[in-house]
Amino acid sequence: MTNDGTADQVAVTYYTDPLCCWSWAMEPQWRRFRFEYQKNVQWRYCMGGLIPGWENFSDPVHAVSRPAQMGPLWMEAAHLSGMPIQNKIWTFDPPASSYPACLAVKCAEDQSFAAGEAYLRLVREAIMIREKNISAKQILIELAEELSSVDSSILNVEQFTADMVNGVGLEKFRSDLNEVRTKNIRRFPALVFRRKGHAPLLLQGYRPYVVWLDLMNQLAPDFKRKECTDIEEYRAYWPHLLEREEKEVMITAGNRE
């Protein structure tokens, strides 16, 4: 998949991390964007390696330097976005690093883009909702098995498990880390939008959907959005939706609370 964009398409590079609460918080906007511009966008994911380990980790913007301080940040993300986020894991079983989950996503993605995307979503749900420690290799393998049990054609678990240790996933993750450094991405989520003939635009941090629309109006004012007029159509497009994700489109679908 190229990522330079064309005159008829916008290409998005999504810099993220499975442990990024703000990326999870922005899933409603990301899903709505893909629904409304489904014929005019392509995208890829670049894993950011948010937390290599806690020995040298420091996030001065959010005053986080140890696991226990991550809980209040996740509470803030839940409050601001309305997305379900469980924060107690940072007290009873804090993930040691986000690197294993990033590597696992790249192992799934090596089998197919669809596998990588489905696995990323599942890993996010596992940590944010189900309080699974996704820094543990066994948990990551169990999630691969869970994904395969739903659709055996999407992911070969044996190959996934082998790629976790044979260097395939590590090589691809290292490539992502190098891109993050080269592009000077310092905050997640970060999305770079490109269209042929236009300067790239950056959307960084958690942003409401109106900001997405402003960006697209700058980059592609000629693109027509497919606005949701029937929530059932949206549910069919995204078979697994959370309540907050439905609410993102409810007003335009005529389904007011």
Cβ contacts of 83 within 8 Å, gap of 6 or more: 24, 25, 27, 28, 77, 128, 242, 244
| Residue 30 token pair | 């990301």
C-alpha distance across the termini of the chain, in Å: 40
pLDDT of residue 64: 86
Homologous superfamily of the 10-226 domain (CATH): Glutaredoxin (3.40.30.10)
Percent of the chain with pLDDT over 90: 86
Quote the CA–CA distance of 50 and 107 in Å, as a whole number.
Answer: 18
Q: Would you call the peptide bond into 189 cis, given omega within 30 degrees of 0 as the criterion?
A: yes
Given a cut of 80, whether residue 232 has pLDDT beyond it is: yes
Domain coordinates of the chain in residue numbers? Answer: 10-226
Task: Tell me the per-residue pLDDT of 4-56, one tens digit each, with 9 for 90 and over.
Answer: 777 789 999 999 999 999 999 999 999 999 999 999 999 999 999 999 999 98
Task: Tell me the per-residue pLDDT of 79-89, one tens digit each, with 9 for 90 and over.
Answer: 999 999 999 99
- What global pTM score does this model have? 0.94
Task: Tell me the per-residue pLDDT of 171-212, one tens digit each, with 9 for 90 and over.
Answer: 999 999 999 999 999 899 999 999 999 999 999 999 999 999
